[in-house]
Amino acid sequence: MNYQISTETGAKLRIDKWVWAARFFKTRSLAADAVEKGHVRIGGANVKPAKEVRVGDLVEIEIERIVWQVEVLGICDVRGPASVAQTLYAETEESRVKRQVEQERRKTFREPAAALHGRPTKRDRRTIDKLSGGG
């Protein structure tokens, strides 16, 4: 299949469609949701899903508290394979370093409540009360 990628400076596309085509989100609706909730910014400003992104724009995409800062290199309105999607943007060096630091931190950091599931048992409650100095 032939994927039409436009790299001209005047090329533009809806931001929700672009982040979907660039494979940051699995579905268009997830992409539109993320834009609506403010997880996608163009030039640092929150935008609506219909806002048009142009070649050369700086886009920030926040996925699970990891922020990608990418420059738009191409516009493609259909979702293609990952090899094609990666040609649509270039991640900034600063963003790449921050992302790697955050991923390393996540490998070593264990969420304190990760082992807890549901409500505490009677035994758990007694331990909590003993530690907190309660009766």
Can you give the residue ranges of every domain in the chain? Answer: 12-132
pLDDT, tens digit only, all 135 positions of the chain: 667 888 887 788 999 999 999 999 999 999 999 999 999 999 999 999 999 999 999 999 999 888 999 999 999 989 999 999 999 999 999 999 999 998 888 888 877 766 777 888 899 889 989 998 866
Between CA 9 and CA 6 the distance in angstroms is 9
The reported pLDDT for the residue numbered 114 is 67
What whole-number distance in Å separates Cα of residue 60 and Cα of residue 41? 5
Query: Rounded to an integer, what distance in angstroms lies between the CA atom of residue 30 and that of residue 34?
Result: 6
SS3 sequence, 49-115? CCCEEECCCEEEEEECCEEEEEEECCECCCCCCHHHHHHHEEECHHHHHHHHHHHHHHHHCCCCCCC
pLDDT at 119: 86
* pTM score, whole prediction: 0.77
User: How far apart are alpha carbons 60 and 132 in whole angstroms?
Assistant: 42
Look at residue 1 in the predicted model and tell me its pLDDT: 66
The CATH code that applies to domain 12-132 is 3.10.290.10
